[in-house]
Structure 1
Amino acid sequence: MINTTDYVGTLFDNSESNPSKITLAFTMAGVALKKGHSASVILMVDAVHLALPNALDNVNIGAPFEPAGELLEAFIEKGGQVLVCSACMKHGGVEESAIDKRFTVISGDDVVELLMNAKGSLQLN
């Protein structure tokens, strides 16, 4: 686990509660990558359910935004990392063995370290 990244987006909502926040989280993280920064999106609270494979496939808020599943794929392809809070997973009933294998499970201590060392962050809560 790295303890630094230039940009950290924290996402708290799942697709049922707020698809706009999901789309915005991955859009802005993608912009950070395009500008040459390292970027991470941390899934916390209800957003841990988005760590399940294909969870973003039906999240599409419409123009001018791309569908969230496409944003996620482009983000990972360009080197972005998706991190999932372990305590939030336990609280939300999400098993580590069930999540997308491209995602990394992190602790609360890791969340604090990443936020404190980032050049910038966007908290969607």
Structure 2
Amino acid sequence: MSETTEKIIYFCTHAGEDAEKASICFAMASSALALEVETTVALQGSGVYLAQKGYVEHVPATGGFAPLTKLIGDYMELGGKLLVCKPCVEERKIEESDLIEGAKVSTGGTLNMIALEADAQLVY
């Protein structure tokens, strides 16, 4: 009998304008990784700013969570995948070279395939 890997995707659509929702997303995603669930965070809308180098350093901690710099750093160190919506970064004139290490620009097709394969999807 083969074991299957559980998969989850978190869609994060907020950045500094609602830092609590962004923080919840990364706290939950890191918790999933600790449970050995294959985890992807997909940044869409203003959420793409979270992947822009230097952005989260200016967002204050909120909601009782650690600062986003720590939450995102921990998530990435645990091996989480971070995908960034291509049209969303293009709209905001963010270049791929402006993204933090490990963040990958992604298309809707890729995100839809990951969502279809996931056991759960959450949106923040």
TM-score bracket relative to the smaller structure: 0.7 to 0.9
User: What letter matches 1:99 in structure 2?
Assistant: L
* Higher-Rg member (1/2): 2
Over residues 84-122 of structure 1, what are the superposed CA-to-partner deviations in whole Å (9 max), with x where a residue is unaligned? 011111122211121113211111101111111111111
The Cα shift of 1:5 comes to 7.4
Are the equivalent residues in 1 in contact too, given 2:32–2:39 (CA < 8 A)?
Answer: yes
User: What is aligned with 1:77?
Assistant: 77
Q: How many pairs does the alignment contain? A: 119
User: What letter matches 1:66 in structure 2?
Assistant: A
CA distance in 2, matches of 1:59, 1:79: 25
User: What letter matches 1:75 in structure 2?
Assistant: Y
User: What is aligned with 1:95?
Assistant: 95
Where does structure 2 lack aligned partners over 5 or more consecutive residues? none
User: What is aligned with 2:61?
Assistant: 60
The Cα shift of 1:62 comes to 4.7
Return the TM-score normalized by structure 2: 0.88
CA distance in 2, matches of 1:84, 1:67: 20
